Every structure is written in C-alpha cells, then in structure tokens.
Amino acid sequence: MKNKVLLLPVILSVVLLWNCENPFINDLPEAKVINYPPETHVSFIYHPDTVLTEGDYWINNGDTIFLEDDEIIVLGLDTTISVKEVFWWGDDPDGEVVGYYYKWSYMNEPVFTTLESDIFYLPLRSKFDIYSFQVWAMDNDSLVDPTPAVISFPVYNSPPEIEWKYNSLPTVASSPDVIHQSFTHHSFFWDVSDLDGFETVTDIFWTLDDTSSWNRLDGTQRSIFLSDLSPGSHRIFIQARDIAGAKSNIISFPDPEDRNHPNGWNVNKPMGDYLIVNDFAGDQLNYQHQNFYKDILNNLISENNYSVWEIGSGDNNPHNAIPYSTQDIEYNLSYFKNVFWYTFRGENSINQSALALTRFVADGGILFMNNAMKGGTLADTTWSFTSIDTMYFFSKTGRILPGTEIDAFWDDPVLDSTLALSLGTTLADRLWAIEPGPKAAIRYRFKDAGPSGTSYNGAPGIMTETPINNGICYYMTVPLYYCNGKENVEELFKHIFRLK
C-alpha cells in the first residue's frame, strides 16, 4: 500500500511535464517537397557577323520593322538558307526530361516531340525574313520550362538554278554553227537546284519560240516531250520559279551564246512509210553508201516517199548523234513501216536503240539491219530484235575479192536464183559470220569454200530472218553496198520490203 502511494506523485509529475512546453527545444518546421522545372537548351553552329543599325530594317513574321535612332541588332549570323537543322536538349535537377514543345514564329501553337533535333523547311514568303525558334523541355511530372530556349535565323531566299541535264543535248565537233535535225517530236531534260531545298521549287515554265507566253509544269518535272512540232526552225526556253516567286536563269536550245551545242534546230516532216537510217558516221562526209541506197528507193518508190535519218558520232556529225531519250528513238521509228538501218566501221548506235528496234518489229514493222562491223557494236546474242546463236570472224586475210558469190536460201528456187548475190568490189575488212538462233532462219551464206578456202573456210552465214509477232527483222553482217556484183540489190530491197 505504501508503494502505491509513492508512485502516484511520480505519475502526476510525468503527465505535467509531457503537457508543458520545453523552453530549450525549438519546434521543427513542417516538411515540404519542391519539384523544380527543367531547363532547356538549343544549339546551332554559326558565326555572328551581321549587325543592323539605324536606318536598316528586317522582316519578322511578315512585319517590316525599321530600326529607330541609336538602335542596334546583332542578328547572330549572316543570312542563311531556309533549310535548318536545329538541336535541343533539357536538364532536370530532380527528375528526367520526357519531351519538348517547340514553336516557330510563323506557327500558332507549339508542337510536342520526343526528338532532340530535326530538319525544318521554313516557309519562304519574301526575299528576306527572320524566323525565331522556341523550345520548352517537359519533365516526368509534366512541368514545363517557363523560360524557353530561343534562337533566330535571318533567311535569304536563294533563287533556283536550272541547267540542261548532262549529255542530254547534242554536242558539236568544233564550230557550234551547225543544225541539229529531228522529226516532229523532241524530248528535253533539265536539272534544278535550290539552296533552300528542291521542295521550294514550285513551277517550271517553258515556251517554244515565243517568250511572251509561257506554259507551266509542276516544280518536280524534269523533262518534257514535245510532239506534233511544225516543220522548220525552233527554239525552246525553260525557267524555274520557287515558292517565294524568285525565278531562275533561263536556258534555251538552241542558244546562240552556247559554244558547246548546235546553234540551230530544224524539224523535218516524216515522208512516206520507208526510212533509211545512216548509222555510219564515216559515210556522212561524201555519202557514197547513203546515195547508193537512196538511188534504190528513188527507183522503187520515188524520192518523196521515204525519209533519211543520219546518226552521227565522234567528229562526224555529232550534233545529230543518237537521241538521249529512248522515247525519241522509238518515235523516230514509229512514223514508218519499213526501216533499212546500215552501219560500217566505227561506232554505231544499235545498243542504245535495241529496245526501240524490238518494239518496232514487234509492232509489225519490217527491219533490215545491215550491221557490217569488224569492231565497235558487234552482233549480240542477247538482242531481242533478232535471234543469233553464234558469231565468229570468217575472213582469214581481211580481204575478200570481187566476184565472190553469196548463196541465197529463201526456201524458193526462183528466189534463190534471182536473189543470189556477189561482191562487186574487194571487201577489205575482217567481218563477222553468224549462225541463226532457234527463232531465226539463214538467208545468205558465202559460197562454200571447203576446209581450205583462200579467203575463208566453209560457208559463213551472213544474213538471218527473225519473225517477231507480225514483224520481221533481217540481220546482215556484211555491207550490202559491196554486194551488188550482179546488180540485183534493188531486187533484194523489193523482196524484203514487199515492193512490186
């Protein structure tokens, strides 16, 4: 009992002390957690060297602003192109950056992104403008930097530049005072560049002869095909324009100031259903071979019922070289139903024309290809306008004498007799023999000389016939010009082209 009495005062003292304020201990402040927003940075490599002073002006967001007395603006960099690559990043002391908002001065609302760089194509509205870029970092608590990083770009609109596509125009050997010839169509190709990006080129304008009235093409167009051209001399003009209205230089063909391309262009109307293709540039000096074939057609159909297409190369008639465009080659052939194409010595244009030749024959045309080559473009077993199994040199000495007979194989005894050929003059070239492929038939061989002939061995094949759909290709590897010893090459033309 005594012990219980003693404990009571102690308990009361503890309770009193618990409820009394301790004068020696300060109250701790209430704990608070502060979330700091991120900071944003932007980068663009440049060198400050543009300063505007009193009297100068600049354009910001479409508004022209003049500098007042004693005002100075350091733009930060010289005028630049409208394609901009900008880098940005953010720092967050108590979290992580999860994205960004950016806004150009021409935009109404900011755009969210998780990227930290991008390439922008600034919209050109005037010759000179200043664009500002703002970017805000956002952290994982959705706090956004209250003070965006800002950078400004003074942009000068560079006008586009235009030039003819490399090698698309015919060249000249020495003097540009020559005439380029075409039928009533022509393709032209050009390249356009713009420091502000090719996307800024919105218009291509062209005109033929008359520069007071222009035709528009889309800014992405890089070629034009003109058809139904009127016979006579012509000149085409091309110009580009960008989104801000800046125009490029004007290019033209022909151009009297251009010393590398012909200064004249003449359009010829296709005549008749027959075409002679002179692909022997060496003949385009004295025209011995061409005149021989023209005389044959003059006798058979008269001179106003066929056309001649001369294909130059090297130093001989390069201003009329094979067209750059396959479409032009196809159109050259498409005007006609019958084509005699001859080559001899030097380079020729058969490889560039192979697709067009196949389509011509497949569309029902008759092609007589006299590709008499010892080098350059030889018979190719992959060509689809004819069918060749093998090819080989057949001349031992490179010289076959006049009177050498060429046997015909037309599956008709009368034709085999009347169309048998012979050399009228010495053939002083090592040429090629061919053997027909599975779709072809042999039509001419040199007379069999046996295994030990003087000029050649055996009976080399020199002409095949290959049908393709409703068309036919006759392919011959010796120059027909030399094969008129019996004066019956005209009869061969009559048979091949079905002339009475």
Domain boundary among 125, 156, 187: 156
18 in a domain, yes or no?
Answer: no
Strands 51-52, 97-104: pairing kind: unpaired
Which residue among 156, 183, 216 closes a domain? 156
Provide Rg for the chain, Cα atoms: 42
Does 14 reside within a domain? no
User: pLDDT value at position 200?
Assistant: 84
289 and 226 housed in the same domain: no
CA distance 270 to 293: 18
- In a shared domain, residues 90 and 175: no
Do residues 189 and 336 both lie within one domain? no
Residue 9 falls inside a structural domain:
no
Q: Write out residues in the chain with pLDDT < 50, as ranges.
A: 1-5, 11-12, 14-18, 47-50, 61-62, 74, 76-77
Domain termination site, one of 266, 281, 308: 266
The pTM of this model reads 0.76
Task: Answer whether 479's CB lies under 8 Å from 463's CB.
Answer: no
Overall number of domains in the chain: 3
**Structural domain of 333:** 270-496
pLDDT at 458: 94
| Neighbour tally for 63: CB within 10 Å | 7
User: Which CATH number covers residue 306?
Assistant: 3.40.50.880
Q: Cα–Cα distance between 114 and 292 in angstroms, integer?
A: 77
Is residue 27 included in any domain, yes or no? no
- Considering the domain architecture, whether residues 385 and 401 belong to the same structural domain is answered as yes
Residues 316 and 403 placed together within one structural domain of the fold: yes
Cα-based angle 500, 290, 321 (whole degrees, multiple of 5): 120
What is the rounded CA–CA span in Å between residue 162 and residue 247? 10
213 with 345, same domain: the answer is no
Model pLDDT, residue 69:
61
The answer on 443 and 339 residing in a single domain is: yes
pLDDT at 43: 85
State residue 445's pLDDT score: 97
